[in-house]
Amino acid sequence: MQTSTRPLTAPFAARRAVRGTAIYGEPMHGTIPRELDPAGAQALLTALFEPGTDRLAHSRGVGRRAEQVARVLGSPDLLVSAAYLHDIGYAAAALDTGLHQLDGARYLARLGVPAELTGLVAHHTEATVEAAERGLDDALRREFPEPAPELLDLLTYCDMTTSARGEPVTVDERFERIYDRYPPDHLVSRSMHSAEPRLRRLVSGIERRLGLPFR
Ligand SMILES: [Fe+2]
């Protein structure tokens, strides 16, 4: 696996200074990892989500998926770290607006995480669609410019082919389970319906690159 073109380690001096202490009024459940390489990203994930929860299982599943993809396509570690952390906005310490992509990216930005990683978290899985529903699309774009599509699409692919429990699934199964989970008039259902054609095209394109079936 390649390393990212820019190191993820440099901007973390300030964060190290607050290791194991309260940060932004939220108690940290464990120490903040020294680096956000994939192992560090997993450590932060484990610190922020309760053990045994679907959010933790899903995030780990998406991270594992990204590790597979990165091996096949030679993607940088940045993809894998972003995959482990993509849903960190659901963690209690990060919750703010309710748009998990924005909350997660803001939380990581406050920790000093580089823009290459926060941009991926902010925009994964067609975030702008739900952001528009919530009136947050301007804030999302202003605070976190959309990253180049290469890694963003791979991250979205990993998310859209991993179940809520962290198992590999087809995109059909993923949509089916999302629509089962949320009522049709729910904001998440409406956003996913709106983004579905683009997401399906994205997944198909990446599956062709990876060689199907990729389970
Ligand atoms: Fe996700």
Q: pLDDT tens digits for 190-200?
A: 999 999 999 99
Q: What is the model's pLDDT at position 4?
A: 42
Is the pLDDT confidence value at 32 over 90?
A: no
**Structural tokens at position 106:** 């803001």
- Report yes or no on 33 lying in a domain: yes
CB 41 within 8 A of CB 67: no
pTM: 0.84
Mean pLDDT of 162-166: 96
110 within 8 A of 144, measured Cβ to Cβ: no
Domain membership of residue 167 (yes or no) is yes
Question: Is 132 part of a structural domain of the chain?
Answer: yes
Expressed in angstroms and rounded, the spacing between residue 133 Cα and the centre of ligand 1 is: 18
Top-confidence residue, 112 or 87: 87
Q: Containing domain of residue 91, as a range?
A: 10-210
1 domain-assigned: no
Tell me if 215 is assigned to some domain: no
Number of domains in the chain: 1
The pLDDT score that the predictor gives to residue 19 is 38
Is 88 within a domain? Answer: yes
Query: What pLDDT is recorded for position 112?
Result: 87
Q: Measure 174 CA to ligand 1 centroid, in angstroms.
A: 11
* High-pLDDT (> 70) share of the chain, %: 82
Q: What is the mean pLDDT of residues 25-34?
A: 37
Which range among 13-17, 41-45, 55-59, 60-64 shows the weakest confidence by mean pLDDT? 13-17
Residue 86 CA to ligand 1 center (angstroms) comes to 6
Judge whether 56 lies within some domain: yes
CA distances from 147 to 1, 19, 21, 52, 60 (A): 21, 29, 32, 32, 23
Q: Is residue 90 part of a domain?
A: yes
Q: Report every protein residue that has its C-beta within 5 angstroms of ion ligand 1.
A: 87, 159
- Say how many Å lie between the CA of residue 124 and the centre of ligand 1: 8
What tens digit of pLDDT does each residue of 124-148 get? Answer: 999 999 999 999 999 999 999 999 8
Both tokens of residue 127? 């975030």
Report the pLDDT value the prediction gives residue 120, as an integer from 0 to 100.
Answer: 95
Give the mean model confidence (pLDDT) for residues 98-126. Answer: 95
Q: How far is the CA of 134 from the centre of ligand 1 (A)?
A: 18
